[in-house]
Structure 1
Amino acid sequence: MDRTAYARRLRQKQTLAEKTLWTLVRNRRLSGFKFMRQIAIDRYFADFICEAGKLIVELDGAAHDGREAYDHQRTERLEQLGYVVLRFHNERVLADPGGTTDEILAALRSARP
């Protein structure tokens, strides 16, 4: 499967936490920062990315249980490419969406020159 088709499939099968966060950051709703979702970077797909802030937001659910080493390796590679990676558990996004976006916004503002 090509990367575009795979990204499209990921967007169609997003989790409730991904839907929730996407609603909060899409269309420049988060202080004018543009986010995209399920974007191919190197050999990975980033859940959410803000290119202007060089920020990637990853949401971790049950599928990430037992994959901590893989996630760590992935984060290291994305950081080598110049990105800051924020990780949130799905439960956090669902329980405290405002706090999650506050933390994302703080990371974006601190990254701005």
Structure 2
Amino acid sequence: MPQRPRHVSTPAKLRAFAKTMRHAPTDAESAMWKLLRDRRFAQLKFRRQVPFQNYILDFVCFEQRLVIEIDGSQHAEQTRDQIRDATLLAAGFRVPRYWNNDVLQRRTAVLEDILAKLSETDE
């Protein structure tokens, strides 16, 4: 049986910032949370603004190892996002990213894409 990674304590400052972010979501994050919360989407348990290592994950389903990131224009061509995605990939997560406008204007397409990603198998 493979060993689970050792739990690493999250810095208190990061936990506090995540809590602040949960209380002040962007419009797109709020819209996405209405679709994901309370197992509304495919009966999956999602959490929002979750501290993980040195990052705060917008939405995460640990059961499916899926992180959903909702990005504004400040994330276009961000090297930090590439590093972050590589870190999460190494930890076994899939990380689809969606633009704020897509979440606000094309919710059905975003949810269909998430379902497609959930049905993909690792090769």
Fold in common (TM above 0.5): yes
- Which one-letter code corresponds to 1:74 in the other structure? R
Higher strand share: 1
**1:30·1:105 contact (CA, 8 Å) conserved in 2?**
no
The DSSP-based 3-state class of the residue aligned with 1:85 is coil
Aligned to 1:16: 27
Q: Which runs of 4+ in 1 moved over 4 A?
A: none
Deviations 1:63-85 (A, max 9, x none): 324x6111111111110111000
5+ residue gaps, structure 2, are 1-11
Structure 1 unmatched ranges of 5 or more = none
Q: What is aligned with 2:5?
A: none
Higher relative contact order (CA 8 A, sep 6+): 1
Q: CA RMSD in A?
A: 1.6
Q: Is the counterpart of residue 96 in structure 1 residue 106 in structure 2? A: yes
Is 1:53 the counterpart of 2:64 in the alignment? Answer: yes
| 1:84 match: secondary structure | coil
Q: Structure 1 residue aligned with 2:81, among 46, 71, 74?
A: 71
* Paired residue total: 111
More helix, by proportion: 1
Q: Give the TM-score, by structure 2 length.
A: 0.83
- Percent identity, aligned pairs only? 33
TM-score (norm 1): 0.90
Q: Report which of the two structures shows the higher radius of gyration computed on alpha carbons.
A: 2
2-side partners of 1:102 and 1:34: how far apart? 17
Task: Determine helix, strand or coil for the equivalent of 2:92.
Answer: coil
Structure 1 position 111, deviation (Å): 4.8
Flag the 1:63–1:13 CA change in 2: closer, same or farther, 3 A: farther
